[in-house]
């Protein structure tokens, strides 16, 4: 039996793959500017030192659940310093890994800037509550559940970037505001490229250390949570977001987990040791469990809409 590769060996072996995929990323990423996506002429001065008008619920007509999703998405983007710390500590700041870490951080920073500008100018959400939520959320920080393991972190971000892409996309749709939809579609396109980068790296890891890669995927799926999990009221917000079809268990299973697993072709990987095989069995069971949970949720949601319809 071969001994597992150390974290350092994995980083070294994957460096060339990082370099190749960073080049690919840079050739595909489109430059874009947050200010072009914000309808500045709709803006009005707020109360406070400048003596404008305080925010009121009636300032914006976007649906409540869209506000909730926008807040969750923005607070998630806001926590970037913690994510940067996590990946810079694990992947390092040198060579191709460091170049990726910094580039990724710069792109994610653009997302928070753009969404905040949009929300503030359009008065879509209460800016005081938003700022307080940002302070609370960032003060708590973020730690990755498997933050000291390279392959676990790569597996996590492969799923998480795709989940974030879907969530941004669907949030844009639910706002009913074409400007917001265009902005979030632009952000979602970035998240997709991030997902492809990480997914390609883990694909290379499957060649290099198949059993370790399989274990990483199984562990990450078992306790997967979105990075916004620490947001105040996250459980309640997630239910609202799921009920609105912005991000629910069905999408998590069918549009995030399954397509990524398919790209890695996990059920055809060869050369696994005992633990690698056990990890793969665990993944298969997890997919079955997710299927049941997603079906249960869909039933409940359908029953709820039927109940609401009779009340109208």
Q: Do residues 287 and 249 lie in contact, with contact meaning Cβ atoms separated by under 8 Å? A: no
CB of 274 vs Fe ion, minimal distance in Å: 35
CB of 153 vs Fe ion, minimal distance in Å: 14
75 vs 174, beta carbon nearer Fe ion: 75
Angle, helix 150-175 to helix 7-28, in steps of 10 degrees: 30
Q: Is residue 194 at the binding interface for Fe ion, with CB under 5 A as the rule?
A: yes
49: number of CA atoms within 13 Å, CB side?
A: 0
- Which one of 86, 191, 219, 248 is in contact with Fe ion (CB under 5 A)? 191
- Mark 221-249 as b/e (b = at least 16 C-beta within 10 Å): beebebbbebbeebeebbebbbebebbbb
Site string for Fe ion, 126-165 (x = CB under 5 A): -----------------------------------x----
Q: Is residue 199 at the binding interface for Fe ion, with CB under 5 A as the rule?
A: no
Residue 50 phi/psi, 5-degree rounding, is -95, 0
- Spatial distance between the Cα atoms of 282 and 277, rounded to a whole number of angstroms: 9
Site string for Fe ion, 70-109 (x = CB under 5 A): --------------------------------------x-
Q: Count the site residues for Fe ion by CB under 5 A.
A: 5
CB of 180 vs Fe ion, minimal distance in Å: 15
CB of 201 vs Fe ion, minimal distance in Å: 14
- Spatial distance between the Cα atoms of 83 and 164, rounded to a whole number of angstroms: 14
Residues making contact with Fe ion (CB under 5 A): 108, 111, 161, 191, 194
């Amino acid at each position: 039996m071969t001994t597992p590769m150390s974290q350092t060996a994995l980083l070294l072996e994957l460096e060339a793959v990082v370099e190749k995929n960073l080049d690919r990323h840079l050739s595909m990423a489109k430059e874009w500017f947050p200010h072009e996506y914000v309808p500045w002429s709709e803006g009005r001065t707020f109360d406070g030192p400048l003596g404008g008008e305080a925010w009121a619920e009636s300032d914006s007509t976007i649906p409540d659940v869209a506000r909730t999703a926008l807040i969750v998405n923005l607070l998630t983007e806001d926590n970037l310093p913690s994510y940067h710390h996590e990946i810079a500590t694990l992947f390092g700041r040198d060579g191709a890994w460091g170049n990726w870490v910094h580039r990724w951080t710069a792109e994610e920073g653009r997302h928070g800037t753009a969404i905040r500008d949009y929300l503030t100018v359009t008065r879509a959400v209460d800016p005081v509550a938003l700022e307080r939520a940002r302070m609370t959320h960032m003060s708590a920080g973020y730690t990755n559940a498997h933050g000291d393991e390279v392959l676990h972190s790569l597996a996590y971000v492969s799923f998480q970037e795709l989940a974030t892409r879907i969530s941004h996309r669907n949030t844009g749709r639910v706002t009913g505001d074409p400007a917001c939809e265009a902005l979030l579609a632009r952000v979602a396109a970035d998240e997709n490229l991030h997902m492809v980068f990480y997914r390609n790296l883990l694909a290379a890891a499957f060649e290099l250390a198949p059993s370790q890669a399989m274990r990483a995927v199984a562990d990450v799926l078992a306790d997967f949570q979105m990075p916004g999990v620490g947001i105040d009221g996250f459980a309640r917000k997630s239910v609202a977001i799921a009920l609105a079809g912005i991000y629910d268990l069905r999408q998590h299973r069918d549009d995030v987990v399954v397509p990524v697993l398919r790209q890695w072709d996990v059920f055809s990987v060869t050369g696994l040791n005992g633990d690698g095989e056990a990890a793969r069995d665990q993944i298969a069971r997890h997919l079955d469990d997710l299927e049941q949970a997603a079906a249960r949720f869909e039933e409940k949601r359908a029953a709820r809409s039927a109940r609401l319809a009779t009340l109208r």
